[in-house]
Amino acid sequence: MTDLSRILPEFPIGQPQYARLLPAIERQQLTTTDLLTLDVADIGRRTQLPLLDVKRLCNAVLDALHADLGVSDKQQQQQQQQQQQQQPEREDDETKDPVAGVRKSKGDNNKTSTLKHTVPELAAKWRTISTLDEGLDRALGGGVPTGYITEITGESGAGKTQLLLTLLLACQLPPSLGGLGRSALYVSTEAPLSTVRLSQMLRNHPRLRDLDPSQRPSLDGIVSAATPDLESQDHILSFQVPVEVARRGVGLVVLDSVAANYRVEFERRGPGGGGGGGAGGLAARSNELVRLGRLLHDLATQHDLAVVVSNQVADRFPSLSALPLPTPTPAPLRSTLPYGVRQQLQSTQESPLASRSRGRIVPDLDVEPTSSIPVSATSTSEEEAAAAVAVRSSMPEPPPPENLHLGGHQHSHPALLLDHQQRWFTGWGDDPAYGDGHGLALKTPSLGLVWSTQIAARVALLRRPVYGRGRAVASPVASRDAERGDSGEEAGEGGGAMLRSWRRWMKVVFAPHVAPSGCGLDGAVEFEVTMAGLRAVERKGKGKGKRKANAASAAA
């Protein structure tokens, strides 16, 4: 209950009817959320308090929250009385537009429902920071919004830092040009701020180089700070950043990257490092992440600024633990199944956090029937196996719950497990064609599910290699051997596939103001990294691309 004073500072905890209840609630470590969500009988059973007193306390907390949010009945009655005094009585019954915030029904002129904020007011307060590209802004719903925490995640070389540097410059632009007209703050945990790259963008970007000097962004409008460890990061974000934000009028806070110091502090610490591993280390890291998320959220809402953090990713390996207990398939039947179908039957996406969410071990599916296995366990008709793989939707469905018995123990439905749910909020794995020749390896954003609940939007940057036939210059000895018809291994070198370039996409995984991009790469926006920054690419046909017709981009 220690968070009641922080959430509701004006709540009368000193009154006698509440003061005698709080000690028992604090001993059970019940939070304000527990009082609002748990049943009164459950709270009374845990605290041994009278149910009527507990119900009275829960109702008081709920009323206090309603009053703080401006949706309480008392405030609505006061607003109704003020509106009735200001507006003259109208004889004709009319119904006003609900968008205006007031709605009257015919034959009931006294009852009025009032909204805390009307749609025009919310639209007037909406602010975004442009990415300086129309295609990327369109996918983001206008840009990166203020008042929220936005995460940019992707593997190394995907373009995360390039996007962050672009936002640092765009934030200084006036609102008419896609900015906020405010300075930016860059907090680095790995490499320092690249001022050389920022100067290169200022010289080459068509929307920046031709601006008037009074409107043109500069390096003076960017404040940078380095946090090489978790202790310095916590001190700077808790004490120095709020002071700089209030003094300089900062409109954008960038943290690059959020996972670096946590990985060093918790994941790379040895067993004797003081709680770095095991359940204790995970619990400590979860508490730190929740505190960091609350700190950044308070900065975003109180100062109406945008908080953008970059996050690293980790490889996600296939797992067999989410599948039902296997019925080994005879070798002749399994050899007739396509390789992609067998891969779908044998793998689901899993992160290290998902593997810890289950306490069971499932044997391998590729066990050949032997004499030590009973015949009843290995006999499977061809019709049953075909029915299990023939009818499949675009997304692999989880197995039924009745097949999850292991030693008489019933587990949760597989659709509720993390390794099945994470494909829709990580950015990787929502397409069933992943890992089947598309060149996109499965990834999972770092810091797990706890950090995913602290952010409001997640934008994933994906990349895929593009291979071409290499043309290596053969040595004179190899050339003479080739002329004589002696084709050795050296003569064949250089003719294989070599890495030529990378293709990159930006994908909105989830956000409060714009719809997700969709399954796989269907709705993702392809972009490229140029000297001017990021630029969207529109491709037509297969393997051939055509950049979008933009005179300004062509000039770059």
Confidence check: pLDDT of 391 > 50: no
The pLDDT of 75-93, averaged and rounded, is 56
pLDDT (0 to 100) of residue 419:
81
The Cα–Cα gap between 91 and 361 comes to 75
- Please tell me the number of Cα atoms within 13 Å of 133 on its side-chain side: 29
Residue (of 154, 149, 185, 153) closest to 167 by Cα position: 185
How many CB atoms sit inside 10 A of residue 212's CB?
6
Residue 306: pLDDT band with limits 50, 70, 90? very high
Give SS3 for 334. helix
Pairing of strands 250-256, 306-311: parallel
The better pLDDT of the pair 322, 501 is held by: 501
Residue 538 near residue 191 (C-beta atoms within 8 A): no
The pLDDT of 291-300, averaged and rounded, is 95
The Cα–Cα gap between 529 and 549 comes to 17
The better pLDDT of the pair 108, 301 is held by: 301
Q: Where are the domains of the chain?
A: 4-69
Place of tokens 């070599």: 498
Q: What is the pLDDT of residues 166-185, one digit of tens each?
A: 999 999 999 999 999 999 99
pLDDT (0 to 100) of residue 17:
87
Give SS3 for 60. helix
- Two tokens, residue 347: 């793998």
Residue (of 425, 286, 404) closest to 351 by Cα position: 425
User: Is the sign of the CA dihedral 6, 8, 9, 14 positive or negative?
Assistant: negative
Confidence check: pLDDT of 365 > 50: no
pLDDT (0 to 100) of residue 363:
43
pLDDT (0 to 100) of residue 395:
52
pLDDT (0 to 100) of residue 446:
92
Q: Where are the alpha helices (DSSP H) in 411-537?
A: 418-421, 448-452, 476-483, 489-492
Confidence check: pLDDT of 204 > 60: yes
Q: Where are the alpha helices (DSSP H) in 151-218?
A: 160-170, 195-204, 206-209
Residue (of 463, 424, 464, 414) closest to 444 by Cα position: 424
Residue 348 near residue 370 (C-beta atoms within 8 A): no
Confidence check: pLDDT of 499 > 80: yes
pLDDT (0 to 100) of residue 539:
73
The Cα–Cα gap between 172 and 160 comes to 20
pLDDT (0 to 100) of residue 506:
96
Q: What is the pLDDT of residues 412-461, one digit of tens each?
A: 678 888 888 888 899 888 876 554 445 568 899 999 899 999 999 999 99
The Cα–Cα gap between 151 and 458 comes to 5
Residue 84: pLDDT band with limits 50, 70, 90? low
Confidence check: pLDDT of 509 > 90: yes
Q: What is the pLDDT of residues 245-256, one digit of tens each?
A: 999 999 999 999
Residue (of 509, 473, 504, 511) closest to 490 by Cα position: 473
Whether pTM > 0.85 for this model: the answer is: no
pLDDT (0 to 100) of residue 141:
94
How many CB atoms sit inside 10 A of residue 245's CB?
20
Give SS3 for 396. coil
pLDDT (0 to 100) of residue 515:
93
* Partners of 536 in beta bridges: 527
188-202, 270-284, 365-379 — most confident range: 188-202
The better pLDDT of the pair 267, 475 is held by: 267
Q: What is the pLDDT of residues 99-122, one digit of tens each?
A: 445 444 444 455 555 666 777 887
CA 272, 274, 278: angle at the middle one, nearest 5? 80
Residue 436 near residue 345 (C-beta atoms within 8 A): no
Residue 77: pLDDT band with limits 50, 70, 90? low
Q: What is the pLDDT of residues 307-357, one digit of tens each?
A: 999 999 988 876 654 444 344 444 444 444 444 444 444 444 444 444 444
The Cα–Cα gap between 295 and 275 comes to 24
Chain centroid to CA 293:
13
